[in-house]
C-alpha cells in the first residue's frame, strides 16, 4: 500500500527510468543523491551508473524495503540510506542529484538544493508538469513568474522529458516533467533576502508597468522605511545590510508555498498567483515626496518605467536592483 500523503507514486516503466538515468549524464565516479527512493526502481539504475548513492527517504517501511532489496548484492556497500525528511536533513556532499520526488516539496526542495554548498554539477528531477513549466519559463512566456526568476538566478534550467501519469503506480492526477537544474558557478553575489524582496515587489502585478508598481503607496512607504533605517544605521557608522545567511525562511520564501501545500493541484490555469489586488492601495498621485522622486529617478535612469516584470530578463532585474542599491534604496 502506498501513502498518498507522502506522494508515493512508483515509477513502473523501466524504459523511462533508463531514459532519466541516461539524460542525467552520470559518471562512474559520481556520488549521487536520490530523494525519495521508494522501492528502489531508480536507485538500482543509479547504483549501476555511479560510484555511490545516498538516498533520503521519509517512510521507514520504504527504507526497510530498499535495504532488503539490495542486501547481499554488490550494491549494498555503495548505497547509503538516510531515513528522514529531506527538507530537515543536512545534505552530504554529492556530484549529482537524480530524483522522482513527492510533488508537495517541489519548491522548498528546489531552493534547498540551489543553496547547497559546495554546488553540485546538476540535478535531474521529476516535477509536476505545471511546476516544471514555470521553472523553465522565459521572459515573455505566459508562465514566467517569481519562481522562474528566482530559480534562474541561481541555475540554468532546462526541460528534458514529458512524462504521462500512466508511468506511475498508482497514477497521480497530474502529468509530470523531468527537468535539469545546473547551478550557476560562481553563484551570483546577491543578498537572497534583498533579491526576494525586490522580485516580490516587481511581481506584485506582473503585467503592470514598474512605473505604476513603484508609485503604489505601500511599496513606497516600505522602501522609505528601509531607506530611513539604513540611513540611521549608516550615520551611526554601523552600516549593515543584514544577514546573508541562508535559512529555511528564505528557502521557502523564494518559492511558491501555495502550490506546495496542495499536491496534485492544477497550477496551470492561474499563473498570476502573486496578485493581491486591493483598492485601498491606489498610487500616490498628488503628494510628490522627495523619496518618491528618488525612486522614480532610478526607474528612469535605467529606462524601466514603462517595462513590466513579465518581460524582464535576469540581467535586467539584476541591473535595476543595482541601480536601486546605488541610490541607497534596499528591499530587505
Query: Which phi and psi angles does 37 have, rounded to 5°?
Result: -70, -20
- Which single residue brings its beta carbon nearest to ligand SAM? 36
Q: Which is nearer to ligand SAM, 153 or 163 (CB)?
A: 163
| Smallest separation, CB 65 to ligand SAM (Å) | 9
Nearer to ligand SAM, 20 or 312 (CB): 20
Q: Footprint of ligand SAM on this chain (CB under 6 A)?
A: 6-11, 35-38, 41-42, 56-59, 62, 85-87, 100-102, 105
* Smallest gap from residue 127 Cβ to ligand SAM (A): 11
Sheet bearing 79-83, strands edge to edge: 79-83, 52-57, 31-35, 96-100, 122-128, 176-183, 155-163
Q: Which is nearer to ligand SAM, 30 or 59 (CB)?
A: 59
Q: How far is the CB of 69 from ligand SAM (least distance, A)?
A: 12
Q: Locate cell 527538507: which residue?
A: 87
Cell of 308: 513590466
Q: Give pairs for 280-287: CB < 8 Å, separation 24+.
A: 281/216, 281/217, 281/218, 282/216, 282/217, 283/212, 283/215, 283/216, 283/217, 284/215, 284/216, 284/217, 284/220, 285/215
- Kindly state the smallest distance separating residue 78's Cβ from ligand SAM, in Å: 17
The three grid cell numbers given for residue 137, joined into one nine-digit string: 519559463
Nearer to ligand SAM, 9 or 116 (CB): 9
User: How many whole angstroms from its chain centre is CA 310?
Assistant: 18
Q: Which is nearer to ligand SAM, 101 or 309 (CB)?
A: 101
Least Å distance, CB 13 to ligand SAM, is 10
Amino acid at each position: 500500500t502506498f501513502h498518498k500523503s507522502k506522494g508515493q507514486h512508483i515509477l513502473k516503466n523501466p524504459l523511462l527510468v533508463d531514459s532519466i538515468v541516461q539524460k542525467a549524464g552520470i559518471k562512474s565516479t559520481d556520488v549521487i543523491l536520490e530523494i525519495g527512493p521508494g522501492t528502489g526502481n531508480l536507485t538500482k539504475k543509479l547504483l549501476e551508473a555511479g560510484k555511490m548513492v545516498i538516498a533520503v527517504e521519509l517512510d521507514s517501511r520504504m527504507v526497510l524495503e530498499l535495504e532488503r532489496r539490495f542486501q547481499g548484492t554488490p550494491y549494498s556497500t555503495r548505497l547509503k540510506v538516510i531515513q528522514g525528511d529531506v527538507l530537515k536533513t543536512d545534505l552530504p556532499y554529492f556530484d549529482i542529484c537524480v530524483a522522482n520526488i513527492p510533488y508537495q516539496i517541489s519548491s522548498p526542495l528546489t531552493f534547498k538544493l540551489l543553496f547547497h554548498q559546495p554546488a553540485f554539477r546538476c540535478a535531474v528531477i521529476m516535477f509536476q508538469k505545471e511546476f516544471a513549466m514555470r521553472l523553465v519559463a522565459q521572459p515573455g512566456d505566459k508562465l514566467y513568474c517569481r519562481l522562474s526568476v528566482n530559480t534562474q538566478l541561481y541555475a540554468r534550467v532546462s526541460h528534458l522529458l514529458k512524462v504521462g501519469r500512466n508511468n506511475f503506480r498508482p497514477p497521480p492526477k497530474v502529468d509530470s516533467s523531468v527537468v535539469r537544474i545546473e547551478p550557476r558557478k560562481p553563484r551570483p553575489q546577491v543578498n537572497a533576502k534583498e533579491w526576494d524582496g525586490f522580485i516580490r515587489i516587481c511581481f506584485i502585478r506582473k503585467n503592470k508597468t514598474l512605473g505604476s508598481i513603484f508609485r503604489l503607496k505601500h511599496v513606497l512607504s516600505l522602501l522609505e522605511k528601509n531607506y530611513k533605517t539604513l540611513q540611521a544605521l549608516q550615520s551611526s557608522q554601523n552600516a549593515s545590510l543584514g544577514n546573508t545567511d541562508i535559512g529555511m525562511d528564505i528557502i521557502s520564501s523564494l518559492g511558491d508555498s501555495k502550490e506546495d501545500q496542495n499536491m496534485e493541484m492544477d497550477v496551470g490555469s492561474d499563473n498570476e498567483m502573486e496578485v493581491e489586488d486591493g483598492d485601498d492601495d491606489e498610487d500616490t498621485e498628488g503628494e510628490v515626496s522627495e523619496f518618491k522622486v528618488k525612486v522614480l529617478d532610478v526607474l528612469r535612469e535605467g529606462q524601466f518605467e514603462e517595462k513590466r516584470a513579465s518581460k524582464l530578463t535576469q540581467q535586467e532585474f539584476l541591473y535595476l536592483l543595482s541601480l536601486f542599491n546605488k541610490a541607497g534604496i534596499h528591499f530587505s
